[in-house]
Amino acid sequence: MSGPPLATLVDAFASSPSPMVITDARAPDNPIAWANVAFLNATGYAADEIVGRNCRMLQGPGTDRSTVQRIRAAVEAAEPISVELLNYRKDGTAFWNAMTITPVRDAEGLAYFYAAQADMTHVHQMEVSMRGTNDELERLVQARTHDLTTALEQKTALLHEVDHRVKNNLQVISSLMLLKARRTPEGEARDALQSMAERIGALSTAHRMLYSEGDCTHFNLGDFADEFLADMNAGLDPERRRVEADVEPIALTAAMAAPLALLIHELTANALRHAFPGEREGRVSITARRTDAGMRMTIRDDGVGVAAASPNPAGFGRNLVEMVVRQMRGTIAWTDASPGTTVEIQIPIRQPA
């Protein structure tokens, strides 16, 4: 199939706003045979300065050699190719030239190559500008992240220090109250001092846990229960009485640490104090499970039960427990388990982010 003669190509491309050039594939070194006005304007050359010369005249020090080799291979194979190449105008200024080179054949075979071109300099400049902008944004983000990380580390260190100091102060207060209790005659006053010292000790345990946690804004209820059990069982005769726990590792906010410490201590201590009168042996169990609404906690003992326990007019443990549960927007139910007492507590919890 024969292709169009050169005159036909010239007529078709002469008025095109896109730079176009035609080379003679049959002449030595494939020279330029014709270029339209748009090409001359884009390169700064006059027609008599380029006709008869190879297009490599537009190459310069920044021209990519591997792309030039691709063009040469396509021309030698008479295959079309599309590339972007850094070229140079007559005045030496560089521009990015996007070109599509297409072979043209006639009845005798390969006759011409024509190249449709476009100046892509603005696109490359925009890419360079965007890279610079992205680099600056990345630098700013990294700087801001560093500042926020530093601030968070300082805040975490401060919170740890606060928990540590609160724990120490609570331990001091608890020790003072225990000392006072030992010097107080037996009776309601001594029992009250002893109970208050134990409650303060439970709060101290909560702050000790928060201080030891890596994330001072949350704590693990399972770990907390283990710590509490160790403190509680340390003062018990394991052959007669013991406290056991089966608590899931539920992540809770730090704000719940003190109320839960007080709640668990009060219920467990009351069970040990009132459910096993005399030399009666027994066991107190603590369980905690996740629920759809939050958490269900059960404290159960196998003692004498609520009805059989000796009344304590001066005590306010049950009132304290119910007040703490209301504070956490929960519900509580006391039942006689025959034997013993079971306390069921439902607490809504907000999962940490």
For the stretch 156-208, pLDDT in tens is 677 667 766 776 777 777 787 778 778 788 877 877 787 777 778 777 777 77
Going 258 to 261 to 264 to 270, the CA torsion angle's sign is negative
Task: Extract the runs of DSSP E, i.e. beta strands, from 213-340.
Answer: 218-220, 241-247, 251-253, 282-290, 294-301, 331-336
Average of per-residue pLDDT across 278-297: 89
Cut 0.75: pTM above it: no
pLDDT over 50 (residue 353): no
Domain coordinates of the chain in residue numbers?
6-119, 137-214, 217-353
Quote the CA–CA distance of 225 and 287 in Å, as a whole number: 9
Q: Dihedrals φ, ψ of 317, to 5°?
A: -60, -45
Quote the CA–CA distance of 149 and 297 in Å, as a whole number: 37
Average of per-residue pLDDT across 51-70: 94
Quote the CA–CA distance of 206 and 258 in Å, as a whole number: 6
**Which pLDDT value is given to residue 1?**
40
- Is the model more confident about 252 or about 165? 252
What are the counts of helices (DSSP H) followed by strands (DSSP E) for the chain? 9, 12
**Which pLDDT value is given to residue 212?**
62
Q: Which amino acid is at 12?
A: A
CB atoms near residue 271 (< 10 Å)? 27
Determine what percent of the chain is predicted with pLDDT higher than 90.
34
Q: 104 forms bridges with which residues in the sheet? A: 112
**Which pLDDT value is given to residue 255?**
82
pLDDT over 70 (residue 308): no
**β-strands 251-253, 81-88: how paired?**
unpaired
Q: 243 forms bridges with which residues in the sheet? A: 284
- Is the model more confident about 293 or about 90? 90
**Which pLDDT value is given to residue 44?**
94
CATH of domain 217-353: 3.30.565.10
Q: Which amino acid is at 222?
A: G
- Is the model more confident about 163 or about 29? 29
Fold of 6-119: Beta-Lactamase (3.30.450)
Assign 224 a pLDDT band (cuts: 50, 70, 90). confident
Average of per-residue pLDDT across 91-103: 93
Going 299 to 302 to 304 to 307, the CA torsion angle's sign is positive
Q: Do 6-119 and 217-353 come out as alike in CATH topology?
A: no
Average of per-residue pLDDT across 33-62: 93
